[in-house]
Structure 1
Amino acid sequence: MRINKMLSNYGYCSRKDARVLIEDLRLEINGELAMQGQWVEETDSILLDGKPLTKKPPLYFLYHKPKGVLSTMDQDKENSLYHKLVFEDYVFPVGRLDQDSEGLILLTNDGDLAQKILSPKFHHEKEYLVTVNRELTLEFLEKMGQGVDINIGVTKPCEVKRVSDHQFKIILTQGLNRQIRRMSKALGYQVTKLIRLRILNLHLRELPCGECRPLDDKELEDLKKSLHVNLD
């Protein structure tokens, strides 16, 4: 695999941040300075700051992202997760939740698991509670469920359920940028509040806004089963 991918899979940093480590001459592969995108094997001698690279224990956390926080660990961005959370070891958010939205984010250092969740070919469910600026109509709910033309194409059919005059729940199996906001806007509505409630079997429930907690054993076991990941 590429050295950038190995660093991510081993829980050291993102693939993007791996480029910086290489540029700063902090990585050696078999006694020579690492190059960008270099192919490596797990049997290679890889040193970071002179110390052997070892796979870190996997970490899994649920975080209730507040509105206004950027779902990235980019330390150069003032409102990023990097400045809101303190971890001894590197973790990263699985996917994005736009700055104007709040709700559930999965944080991990498990690159393989993250890729299985994010891969569009698996159609994993994410559920949201959406508040809009005017009263819902049956026509709006039906069109949202059937798919909406948002200029880059028609969204996939999805499950939509009315909660109140101005609120509905929606379950998506695709992750287009600001998808729910763009779908609503195309039908003449404006989203005033958006909360992600669920990612696969992981639920926000009573997790307070701005708080973080580790996955319990049952959550992690069910998540790995749904992703067909080895439970060892």
Structure 2
Amino acid sequence: MRLNKFLSEAGLCSRREADRLVEAGRVTVNGKPASSGMQVEDSDQVCLDGNQVKPQERKVLLLFYKPKGIECTANLQVKKNVISYIQYPIRVYYAGRLDKDSEGLLLLTNQGDLVNEIMKAGNFHEKEYLVTVDRPVTEEFLQKIRTGVPVLGTITRPCAAEKRGEYEFQIVLTQGLNRQIRRMCSYLGYEVKKLKRTRIMNLTLGNLKVGEYREASKAEVQELKRQIEEGKTVRKKEVYRGEKPVKNPGKYRNPEKKFRKKQ
């Protein structure tokens, strides 16, 4: 298999990060510096920083309620990094970061391919958030959020947004621009006071308390993979904002539809 896939399936990092490690000269194969795109076999000895890399025997997917202040980074030198915080016995890394000032659902796994598919914006996978702002939430504000806001040189995709309190609203995104919700609110004159992610695709916080984590159930993993496969293989024919979205990417693609009822 390709070296970057071998490293990701060993639970070290994503494939993209694996390519960076190779380019930095930190990876060797049978004692020789590795090259980008090379193939490795079971008999090859792959090392990272001089330490032999062995594939993980058990695949895991964790649902973690990340507290505010914990940083999504694999750099153990960072004082409050997510890996040191959970201290999971198997090496895992996060799938889709959540910024330091935000809290809520974060997925951690040692399955590189799974990470790549969840993070692929072209598949229109849903992520749901509960947002508290510094000013009363108005219908005018929500309508602008739903139709798209200029962020980082582009217009955000249409999304679902519903009022949940005087200063609180719920939003479902199908893209993951850097600090997207905070930038959207800022553009419209609002400041985010609290941001909590409650759902990624079919996975939800459920009864998890802040700082807790659990392994995804077999049924949850099966449904997640089903949605991923649907996003990979079935696409709509029409062009959507210059992109080719998946067929039936989720009920929230239509902003007029209501949020899923709480289980």
Give the alignment's TM-score, normalised by structure 1.
0.88
Name the CA shift for 1:165/1:24 in 2 (closer, same or farther; >3 Å). closer
In 2, distance between residues paired with 1:78 and 1:190?
27
In 1, distance between residues paired with 2:90 and 2:25?
22
Name the CA shift for 1:159/1:51 in 2 (closer, same or farther; >3 Å). closer
Offset at 1:198? 0.1
Which segment drifts farther, 177-186 or 50-59?
A: 50-59
Q: Which residue of 2 aligns with 1:10?
A: 10
Q: Which residue of 2 aligns with 1:153?
A: 154
Offset at 1:137? 1.0
Offset at 1:56? 2.8
Q: Which residue of 2 aligns with 1:90?
A: 91
In 2, distance between residues paired with 1:110 and 1:176?
23
Secondary structure in 1 matching 2:151: coil
Q: Which residue of 2 aligns with 1:75?
A: 76
In 2, distance between residues paired with 1:144 and 1:50?
48
Q: Which residue of 1 aligns with 2:65?
A: 64
Contact 2:29 2:46 in 1 (8 A): yes
Residue identity matched to 2:44: S
Deviations 1:1-31 (A, max 9, x none): 54233211232445547838x8567x433xx
Name the CA shift for 1:129/1:58 in 2 (closer, same or farther; >3 Å). same
Q: Which residue of 1 aligns with 2:224?
A: 223
Residue identity matched to 2:105: L
1:203-218 mapped onto 2 (5 Å cutoff): 203-218=204-219
Offset at 1:113? 0.9
In 1, distance between residues paired with 2:14 and 2:119?
15
Which segment drifts farther, 80-89 or 112-121?
A: 80-89
Residue identity matched to 2:8: S
What are structure 2's unaligned runs of at least 5 residues?
231-263
Residue identity matched to 2:214: R
Deviations 1:67-107 (A, max 9, x none): 01111221121111122011222100001101110000010
Name the CA shift for 1:205/1:54 in 2 (closer, same or farther; >3 Å). closer
1:170-181 mapped onto 2 (5 Å cutoff): 170-181=171-182
Q: Which residue of 1 aligns with 2:256?
A: none
Residue identity matched to 2:219: K
In 2, distance between residues paired with 1:2 and 1:92?
20
In 1, distance between residues paired with 2:52 and 2:83?
25
In 1, distance between residues paired with 2:147 and 2:51?
56
Secondary structure in 2 matching 1:70: coil
Name the CA shift for 1:81/1:36 in 2 (closer, same or farther; >3 Å). farther
In 2, distance between residues paired with 1:45 and 1:86?
29
CA RMSD for the aligned pairs?
2.5
Name the CA shift for 1:76/1:52 in 2 (closer, same or farther; >3 Å). closer
Matched, 1:102 2:106: no
Which segment drifts farther, 44-53 or 192-201?
A: 44-53
Percentage identity across paired residues of the two chains: 40
Deviations 1:49-68 (A, max 9, x none): 78684453211100000001
Q: Which residue of 2 aligns with 1:33?
A: 32
Name the CA shift for 1:50/1:11 in 2 (closer, same or farther; >3 Å). closer
Matched, 1:183 2:211: no
Secondary structure in 2 matching 1:228: helix
Name the CA shift for 1:89/1:166 in 2 (closer, same or farther; >3 Å). same
